[in-house]
């Protein structure tokens, strides 16, 4: 599973971290990270899955430990393995089914990672 970062990730980061008076409170290091990964395809660490964000695997020359990327910065998701899976709010685990939790068996606590209307490509 991979994500392609938006081409304007750095500009987005700067805009997100500038208040309405024009004061910049962002972090130079993050700004550089965003500049380096902008437009690139990076590998997702699928150990932990989220609905609105992604953990990446280490990115050579950018981040030795991988970084957290919010979905706003993602142009597209490639080979999304989250389809049909859900986060269970009861046991706090990833369920391999979005109908019944494959860990605790409950049905009322599942939050699908990908909403059904997003399935079409
Ligand atoms: Zn569960």
pLDDT of residue 118: 59
Say how many Å lie between the CA of residue 15 and the centre of ligand 1: 38
Say how many Å lie between the CA of residue 6 and the centre of ligand 1: 33
Q: Which residue has the higher pLDDT, 118 or 41?
A: 41
How much of the chain exceeds pLDDT 70, in percent?
A: 95
Say how many Å lie between the CA of residue 69 and the centre of ligand 1: 25
Distance CA 76, CA 110 (A): 24
The predicted-structure confidence for 22-58, as pLDDT tens digits, reads as follows 999 999 999 999 999 999 999 999 999 999 999 999 9
Given a cut of 70, whether residue 117 has pLDDT beyond it is: no
Say how many Å lie between the CA of residue 63 and the centre of ligand 1: 32
Contacting residues for 15 by C-beta, under 8 A, at least 6 apart: none
Q: Residue 86's CB: how many other CB atoms inside 10 A?
A: 24
């Amino acid at each position: 599973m991979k994500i392609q970062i938006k081409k304007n990730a750095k500009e987005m980061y700067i805009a997100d971290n500038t208040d309405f008076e024009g004061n910049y409170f962002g972090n130079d290091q993050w700004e550089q990270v965003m500049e380096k990964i902008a437009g690139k395809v990076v590998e997702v660490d699928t150990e932990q899955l989220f609905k609105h964000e992604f953990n990446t695997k280490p990115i050579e020359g950018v981040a030795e430990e991988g970084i957290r990327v919010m979905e706003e910065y993602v142009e597209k998701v490639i080979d999304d393995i989250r389809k049909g899976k859900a986060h269970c709010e009861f046991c706090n685990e990833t369920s391999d089914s979005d109908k019944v939790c494959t860990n605790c068996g409950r049905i009322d606590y599942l939050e699908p990672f990908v909403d059904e209307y997003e399935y079409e490509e």
